[in-house]
Structure 1
Amino acid sequence: MKQQFDPLVGRVFSVFSYYAVPSVVGMVAVSSAFIVDGFFIGNYVGSRALAAVNLTLPVNSMLIGIALMLSIGGSVRCGKYLGQGNIRFASINFSYTLAAIVLFSLIITVLGTIFIKPLTMMLGADQSLAEPVNQYLSIILLFTLFQLGGLCLSFFLRVDGYPVLASIALIGGSILNIILDWFFVVQLTMGLQGAALATGISHTMGLFFVLFSFVLTKSRFRIVRDKCGWTEVIKNAANGFSEFANELSVGVVILLFNWVIMQKLGENGLAAFTIINYSIFFALMVCYAISESTQPIISKNYGALNGKRIYSFLKTASCTVIIIGISMSIIMFFFSEKLVETFLEKGDEKVADLAVMYARYVWPVFLFSGLNIVFSSYLTAMQKPIPSAVIALSRSLILPILLLLILPIFFGDIGIFMAIPLAEVVALAIAIFLVKRNSPNKLVSDG
């Protein structure tokens, strides 16, 4: 790696840009592919299909949560090992994290396929949505290994000093997903099954590209066996628990919102909720990309005891997500009608009206969520899993559920849509308090 991009000695903005820009571009590609999925499904299959896809999101959140817990927890620990010059322990961590991901993926594929019908009912599908949910989910589960394996390897490729290659894998898979969506959904009229197949194939190609990148770059990581390997996985899980808690909480909250919306607003309300969630998803993915790109930088500087540089990287990441949040809030508030029209066939006025109303209440979420994500990610990189998990659980589980139960009592159905923005505001106050208690200089001096 060139010295100007070395996390330990390079200029802060240059290093931040070197890691963050490819990560953001890659994540924009991924989220864009997800949004294009919604475009094809909404326009060529219908609003019912959009609602069905939304019902499957809790399963995806659970799977991604496990993968992030092991992968981010492991890559952060590897970053610290690399900062200390301990290549062998970094390789042990890499080897057993990958083995755990493979084992978990295979178990999920088998169990999910066997119990697909009970799972569909548990997700809240009524009689009209059960079949499309079943069609979509049964195909997605077959590609679990490729999705989670590619995700895991991309984090280790990034911490090994190759963030650009990790992002190229994401971009390539996303472009392929868009092309296959058009081919399967529009040209072959395969409906939700075509959309699921396009997603699965793109995950497969992404995994193969990351594997090829490890060979091409002559990675410092090696596949090794060691009696302490599974202990490393347990430590990874503990350190990355906040990432799991965050993703799982999102899944639980979406599940609860789906149930409440289905009862109060029906299928149209669920479709409207799905449309606005595409915009929220896009903004959150950009913020996650920024926060995750700083983790290997921060963990390496933590290993080298560079407290001042850690503070500088944290400040740079925070300013970046604030700018993104303001931009997304403006777009959501002033251009919500145009966004909604993109995902619907003509004639879905009821869904469109509900979606625009939801947008009018949800836009403040963009102003606060980015900082919460960056602060939680910082604490994970500094190997402070408990305060990191407190932020993650507060913003994505505890506060949304409490507010979802309380606000509709006072504000009616509008209270449903106010829950998430208010949860982010309260969570930010908690996050600021925890970051001040765990400042870079304090943790470095304690370490």
Structure 2
Amino acid sequence: MKNNHTLKTFMSYVILNMLGMLGISCYILADTYFIANGIGADALTALNLALPIFGLMNGMGLLLGIGSGTRYTILMARNKKKEANQVFSQTIMIGLGIGLVLSIIGLMGARTICGWLGADAVTFNMMNSYLKTILSLAPFFILNHIIICFVRNDKGPKLAMMAMVVGSLINIILDYVFIYSLGMGMFGAAFATGIAPMISIGILSTHFFKEHNSLRFVKCKVQISTIKDSCSLGLSAFVTELSTGIVLLVFNLVILKLAGNVAVAAYGIIANISLVCLALFTGIAQGIQPLMSRYYGDGDMKKVYQVLKYALCLAVGLGVILYIGIYIFANPLAAVFNKEQNLMLAELAIAGMHIYFIGIIFAGINIVGAAYLSAIEETKKGFSVSILRGLVVIVPSVIGLAMLFGLNGVWISFVFTETITACFAIAIMYNGYKVKELTSF
């Protein structure tokens, strides 16, 4: 009966978060689709070059939100409500401050950033317009991530899901209006994306008027120790999000040198489909975090392990289904983003999908594993898993394998990285489980 209750709770949190993350990833796909078909392949290249900065900004929000939300839940489970709400209040203040700094950087330094990320004469103006707009609205993106995490951890997974989905749907509608109806180009795409977190925050704000709400703004000073502690718990989520940007940046630069803008556009198709797949795994990870932190705070490790088993089974099963689906439908998927019917673009994208997405099967294990380790305060181990797949293995792999096998080597490097990291993550989780089981007797 206890296992059935745990499974039911697991499914309610995880399914809701997967739907929410699917909504967010769908608006990223919508951006890709409308930009590719409404502006052109060069604009798709500009978008792909700008995505690492978008990932960095979202990563900052997750660093604060996931980490502070984890600490909030552990404190609430131990009946330390005052300390929990101090964490909440401080995180909101820090998030707002970081968002304002990013806004200033976007307004004053977007052109410089475009040069650093490899924009050329063809893509520079489009990328500059997109980046400047996105970064100007950074406070909304960061605060949205933070509030979503706290509402989810305050037993509001349905509202968190609704906020993510509705914001995403509004973005898709505005993408069409701004790009097709009003011809606003890359600025329109970026502005539509920026409106989504504003809508989401508006929906989330209703949580503060509900009876079961435990979140309170309290008067307190920002304490470096509190923020440092919260960020350590959110570091794996930050690195996971940031790794997406790092991989995009490194892949873009390597592919640009190997085969030019058309190949970068092909990778743009692969990368955006990958973002949807990874978002589903992130939905699993973010769904299990409040449950694991609550059970861990209560000292109930048996339930923690039960949730971990459910999450890993779901991640592996989903990874296999996604790979089979992408392999079979690679041709029509590539065609969706290839309005000009560029034969070279289609061939590169299809060949890349067949190889690249083998790694998705193992990526789910890594994302869930890092989330589990962070939720039980094993921050160094969680960070190790995240940094392996986000930097330590992927960067030398893509450079080395590209030298050996060309463009195919780029696709293989993702598979290699996720496989190696998954072996490491499984070993850590298995050893940790055995140690805790032995010491419980």
TM-score normalized with structure 1 length: 0.95
Q: 1:74 to 1:341 in 2, by over 3 A?
A: same
* TM superposition shift of 1:174: 0.6
Secondary structure of 1:128's match?
coil
**How far apart, CA to CA, are the structure 1 residues paired with 2:320 and 2:112?**
42
Cα distance in 1 for partners of 2:335, 2:341 equals 11
For residue 83 of structure 1, the aligned residue among 61, 69, 77 is: 77
Q: Distance in 2 between matches of 1:57 and 1:171?
A: 21
Deviation at 1:443, TM superposition (A): 8.7
What is the CA-CA distance between 1:230 and the residue it aligns to? 3.7
Structure 1 distance, partners of 2:423, 2:205, is: 41
Q: Distance in 1 between matches of 2:106 and 2:191?
A: 17
Distance in 2 (CA, whole Å) between partners of 1:206 and 1:186 is 24
In structure 1, distance between residues paired with 2:59 and 2:426: 24
Displacement, 1:227?
A: 5.3
The answer to whether the 8 A contact 1:81-1:87 is kept is yes
Deviation (angstroms), 1:333: 1.2
How far does residue 217 in structure 1 lie from its aligned partner after superposition?
A: 4.8
| 1:417 is aligned to 2:416 | no
* Cα shift at 1:312: 0.6
Matched letter for residue 350 of structure 1: M
Q: Residues of 2 paired with 1:272 and 1:183: CA distance? A: 26
Query: Hey, what's the Cα distance between the residues in 2 that align with 1:309 and 1:226?
Result: 35
Say whether residues 1:382 and 2:376 are aligned partners. yes
Task: Say yes or no: does 1:39 pair with 2:22.
Answer: no
For the Cα contact (< 8 Å) 2:61–2:141, is it kept in 1?
no
Q: Are residue 330 (structure 1) and residue 329 (structure 2) matched? A: no
8 Å CA contact 2:63, 2:238 repeated in 1: yes
Residue 284 of structure 2 corresponds to residue 299 of structure 1:
no
1:195 aligns with 2:189: yes
Q: Which stretch of structure 1 is more off in the superposition, 232-241 or 209-218?
A: 209-218
* Equivalence for 2:366: 372
Deviation at 1:440, TM superposition (A): 8.2
User: Which residue in 2 is equivalent to 1:179?
Assistant: 173
Partner residue of 2:155? 161
- Distance in 2, matches of 1:394 and 1:179, equals 38
Identical residues among aligned pairs (%): 28
- Whether contact under 8 Å (1:250, 1:397) holds in the other structure is no
Distance 2:195 2:180 in 1: 17
- Decide which moves more: 200-209 or 261-270: 200-209
**Structure 2 residue matching 1:125: 3-state secondary structure:** coil
Q: Which moved more, 1:420-429 or 1:396-405?
A: 396-405
Partner of 2:230: 236
The CA distance in 2 between the partners of 1:445 and 1:156, in whole Å, is 33
The 5 A counterparts of 1:246-325 are: 246-325=240-319
Shift of 1:282: 0.6
Q: Compute the displacement of 1:216 (Å).
A: 3.4
Which letter does structure 1 place at the counterpart of 2:187?
Answer: Q
In structure 2, the partner of 1:356 is: 350
State the shift of 1:445 in Å: 5.7
Provide closer, same or farther for how the CA distance between residues 143 and 443 of structure 1 changes in structure 2, counting only shifts above 3 A: farther
| 5+ residue gaps, structure 2 | none
Counterpart contact for 2:90–2:221, Cα < 8 Å = no
User: 2:394 matched to 1:400?
Assistant: yes
CA offsets 1:56-102 (integer angstroms, 9 cap, x no match): 11111211122111111111111111111211111011110111100
Deviations 1:381-429 (A, max 9, x none): 0011111011001112111111112212322331111101110000011
Determine the C-alpha separation between the residues in 2 that align with 1:69 and 1:190: 33
* Cα distance in 1, alignment partners of residues 220 and 430 from structure 2: 38
* Distance in 2 separating the partners of 1:285 and 1:444: 35
1:109-188 equivalence runs, <5 A: 109-188=103-182
- How far apart, CA to CA, are the structure 2 residues paired with 1:292 and 1:251? 19
Contact 2:54–2:134 (8 Å) recurs in 1: no
Hey, what's the Cα distance between the residues in 2 that align with 1:440 and 1:275? 42
CA shift for structure 1 position 208 = 1.5
Question: TM-score, normalising length from structure 2?
Answer: 0.96
SS at match of 1:115: helix
CA distance in 1, matches of 2:257, 2:358: 26
Quote the Cα distance in structure 2 between the aligned partners of 1:216 and 1:230: 31
Letter in 2 for 1:240: G
- Deviation string, structure 1 residues 158-180 (Cα, Å, up to 9, x no partner): 01001000110001101100110
